[in-house]
Amino acid sequence: MNQERRKLLAKAWSILEDVSCLESEALDNLPDAFQFGAKGEAMQEAIDQIEEANALLDGIINPC
């Protein structure tokens, strides 16, 4: 992979990291009834998937 594509992936990683943080903050600010209900579970699932995607991108950007 060339340097330009690695830079694009790094930018995508950064954007996903920002979205994950924003979604986590939004979840934390919900009332308990929503946090632990269907809406909170859906938000947490989205956060988990974003974090998984970020881990995959990190593995591509920074291979061992």
* Region 29-55 average pLDDT: 96
Per-residue pLDDT for 25 more than 80?
yes
* Average pLDDT over all residues of the chain: 94
pLDDT at 51: 96
pLDDT tens, 50-64? 999 999 999 988 887
Every domain of the chain and the residues it spans:
32-58
Q: What is the mean pLDDT of residues 1-19?
A: 93
pLDDT of residue 43: 97
User: Once rounded to an integer, what is the mean pLDDT over residues 14-32?
Assistant: 97
Show the 3-state SS of 9-61: HHHHHHHHHHHHHHHHHHHHCCCHHHHCCHHHHHHHHHHHHHHHHHHHHHHHH
